[in-house]
Every structure is written in structure tokens, then in C-alpha cells.
Amino acid sequence: MKIAISIESTADLTKELIEKNDFKVIPFTIQLGDRVGLDGEITCDQIISFVEQNKVLPKTSAINEYQYTEHFTELLKDHDAVVHFSLSAKMSLAYTNAVRAAESMKNVYVIDTKSLSTGISLLALYAKRLVDKGLSAEEIYEKCLERVPYVQASFELKRLDYLYKGGRCSSLTYFGANLLKIHPQIVVRDGKMVSGKKYRGNYSRIVKNYCEDVLNEFDNPDLTQAFVTYTTADDEMIETAVNSLKNRGFKTIHITRAGGTITSHCGENCLGILYINDGGKN
């Protein structure tokens, strides 16, 4: 059985990982003023530059039902089934639109990852391993659903500007963080971004403390692989995060840069570590 693993551009994977795993990507749409383009064509740096110059956020559009219908139909020409991984339903209409498109088709399975960025990718990579083992699409779908609650996705933000402008944090939280020079941890829980620990001081030191706190709290990781994903970060910050994961024993550590959609909501100076926290049982 030939199975396509489909992901959205919000999975923030490198071209190398996409090609290596033969993932089929469908992009979100981003609008920068009068310019409209696809996530991937419009880059993280272009978004940050646009916001700096214009003091307004980009607009992002979820993939609509018609686009999903075209995407799945095309994949089914060469595959017997499709397993699609979608951005959390509590963050976007993408999942709902994908489900509606899939309802009129056979052998299209849509998963609400309840995550974002490379939290989605962790599930897609798991699915690829199951494909290689010869499991059916339905078996892969069920096993991936079982793994959704174990995705550890969190980020450390230097500033809350983008989340505030996008309506994802209150004005009280925003102005309080600025006044006290607090850098918050953002954790994905039950499909939503919520505030976690709060840090102050040198940002490189903050990244180290953030990584230690995450690894201590989510302390039963599947050590197969992990991600360090960022919008902008200096070499020291990235190295700090990578070393924290290496010291914990992760065998493979992927370093990826967030795409346009995630950058539009999280902004610059955002870095996270992401992994599966189930001890590798599944």
C-alpha cells in the first residue's frame, strides 16, 4: 500500500527533511501589505523586516477546503491513501477545512496534531517510520493519534509584541512583561499556546534555563530525535539548546528555522526545543 504523508507549511521542516522523507507539503497564505504569497515563498526575514518598517503584523490565511480537496485529489492519483497532519484546530481553521475536504474521499485520514511548528513534524516523522514498517494508513492514523498528547512543544520568547498584536496575549500581560523585562516561556497545552515560566536577565542564560526547565518537567523523552526551532537566534543560543539536548542523550537533533506563518505569530527572537515525551514506548 502506497501512503502519502501530508503536512502543512506550519510544520517548519527543512527542504532536506521534506525531500528525505517524501513529505507532501501544502502551504498557508501570507499577506504583507499589498503583497500576497505562500508560506515558504515569503520568508521569516521578510516578515520581520515588514513588521519593523510598517509596525503592523502580516495576515495569515488557513488553507481552505477547496485547496485541500485539490491537494488530496492529486496525491490519491499516485497513492492508495493519505495521512495528513494539521496545525492545532484551536489555532487555525485548517484542520476543520481539511476534514471537510476528506469527508468526500476515501482513504484520507486527517490528524489534529494539537501542536504547531516542528511539534507537527515529530508526528509526521513517526508516521514515516510506520509507513516504512508496512503498517496500513488506518493503523498509522490510530498510532499517531495515541502519540498526539505526548508532543512537547514550547518556546522561549524575548518579546511579546507579535502575540500581543495578534490578540494572543492580554494587554496587561504584555505591558507587565515589558515593564519588568520578563521573557516568557510559551507552552502548547491541549492545542493552545499558554504562558509558562517567566525569565529575566541575559538572553543566552535564559535559553539555558528554559531548556533545563523543559527537560526537567517533561522528563520521559523518546531520545530518538528532537528539534531546535527558531525564528531568529544567535549561534550561542542555538548551541546552548543543542548542547542541552545532547547532554540529555538525544540521538538526533534537527535544527530548523520557523517559516512565515509561525513567525507571523511568534515574532523574532523565539527559540524552542520540541520532542516526544513518552519514553519511546510507542
- pLDDT tens digits for 230-247? 999 999 999 999 999 999
Query: Where is average pLDDT lowest: 95-99, 191-195, 274-278?
Result: 191-195
Q: Does 217 score more than 80 pLDDT?
A: yes
Q: Does 65 score more than 60 pLDDT?
A: yes
Same-domain status, 143 and 165 = no
Distance of CA 159 to the CA centre of its chain: 19
pLDDT band at 160 (very low <50, low <70, confident <90, very high): low
- Cα 25 from Cα 4, distance rounded (Å): 10
- Cα 274 from Cα 115, distance rounded (Å): 10
**Residue 145 burial (CB < 10 Å; 0-12/13-18/19+)?**
middle
Q: Does 89 score more than 90 pLDDT?
A: yes
- Cα 154 from Cα 149, distance rounded (Å): 14
Q: Does 51 score more than 90 pLDDT?
A: no
Domain termination site, one of 148, 163, 189: 148
Position 258 scores a pLDDT of: 95
Position 172 scores a pLDDT of: 34
Same-domain status, 158 and 240 = yes
Question: Mean pLDDT across the stretch 154-170?
Answer: 60
Domain termination site, one of 122, 148, 174: 148
Domain termination site, one of 87, 113, 148: 148
- Cα 52 from Cα 58, distance rounded (Å): 11
pLDDT band at 181 (very low <50, low <70, confident <90, very high): low
Position 282 scores a pLDDT of: 61
Position 170 scores a pLDDT of: 40
Domain hosting residue 217, numbered range: 150-276
Please count the structural domains in the chain.
2
Per the domain annotation, does 281 fall within a domain? no
Same-domain status, 144 and 156 = no
Residues 6+ apart with CB under 8 A from 252: 224, 225, 226
- Cα 211 from Cα 151, distance rounded (Å): 16
By residue count, the chain amounts to 282
pLDDT band at 7 (very low <50, low <70, confident <90, very high): very high
Q: Give the residue carrying C-alpha cell 517524501.
A: 22
Same-domain status, 129 and 194 = no
Give the DSSP H or E segment for 32. Answer: strand 29-32
Same-domain status, 89 and 155 = no
Q: Does 228 score more than 70 pLDDT?
A: yes
Phi, psi dihedral angles at 47 (to 5 degrees):
-65, -45
> How does the average pLDDT of the chain come out, rounded?
90
Position 27 scores a pLDDT of: 97
Same-domain status, 164 and 112 = no
Q: What is the CA radius of gyration of the chain?
A: 18
Q: Does 159 score more than 90 pLDDT?
A: no
Position 182 scores a pLDDT of: 62
Position 165 scores a pLDDT of: 52
Position 178 scores a pLDDT of: 42
pLDDT band at 254 (very low <50, low <70, confident <90, very high): very high
